[in-house]
Amino acid sequence: MLSDYDNRIDTLKELKTMGYQDFEAYGFDADKGSFYGFKSSEFKKVLDYLDISVTSGHYGFAPFLDKREDELRRFVDRCIVGAKEIDSKYITWPWIAPEQRNMENFKRMIPMLNKIGEQVTSAGLGFAYHNHGFEFEDYNGLTGYDLILSETDPSVVKLQMDMYWVMHSSNFTPADLIKSQAGRFVMWHIKDMDKVTRDYTELGNGSIDYTKLLPDLAESGLQFYYLEQGGNFAHNSTRSARDSARYFKKYLEHKI
């Protein structure tokens, strides 16, 4: 019987055969110093063995909105150690919980983002903020993303654009946002939107025409991009990953 570790390695092997070479991690356990149950150093051996990379990770910063600054700083130190052990280039703040999504918390986030950015940058890594859709909710003419764009320090807080959520929840296109923050969108998430439900779907099956929508790479400051789906699979997750990879190679790879 295969162990969970074997299954995880086999999944990565299969993704590599589809053409996936670089990944973004999620689920770092700061107390154990592990990714997906592997100690960071062991996970790096797996990556090296498969000849793949993890250039960014999403880390669990949201609980620290309600904790002391020294606790946040210790957590960031652990994230830095983990990221360096697997040779990641970026530490990314991915979201806040539904109950935290209000303008008061967006205002509290700003100094936190700047402090984390300074700490991570001083350690020789990059720090970025990943958008979903809730950042575009209007609060009397102001959104959380307005604050993030205007009040965080661009030299230490970069941006990871989730293009699906930009198209799903804002009045902007990716190119619009990049024009306002040229050089700052160092990473992209590319995923499609179901034509009926507006949920996730495989690349090429949805309503986002990336053959026309992809912004200028140089203007964006793009360093890394990731194909993502996250659910609503037409068949199963493996088939969806394969179908999206095929579409990307045929229609989009030459644009990036």
The per-residue pLDDT for 55 is 98
Please answer whether residues 193 and 167 qualify as being in contact, where contact means their C-beta atoms are separated by less than 8 angstroms.
yes
d(CA 126, CA 123): 9
Instruction: Look at the block and give the residue holding tokens 């296109």.
Output: 173
Q: What pairing do the DSSP bridges indicate for beta strands 185-190 and 158-162? A: parallel
pLDDT, tens only, 161-187: 999 999 999 999 999 999 999 999 999
Helix axes 103-122, 144-151, angle to 10 degrees: 30
**pTM for this structure?**
0.96
Cβ pair 92, 160 in contact under 8 A: yes
Confirm if 226 and 188 have CB atoms less than 8 A apart: yes
Phi (first) and psi of residue 35, to 5 degrees: -120, 125
In terms of residue numbers, what domain contains 15? 4-255
Q: What residues pair up with 24 in beta bridges, in sequence order?
A: 56
CATH number where 128 lies: 3.20.20.150
Indicate the residue type of 58.
H
CA-CA distance, 188 to 224, in Å (whole number)? 7
| Model pLDDT for residues 4-49, shown as the tens digit of each residue | 677 899 999 999 999 999 999 998 999 999 999 999 999 999 999 9
Query: What would the two tokens of residue 152 be?
Result: 């965080």
Q: How many domains does the chain have?
A: 1
114-126 pLDDT, tens digit each: 999 999 999 999 9
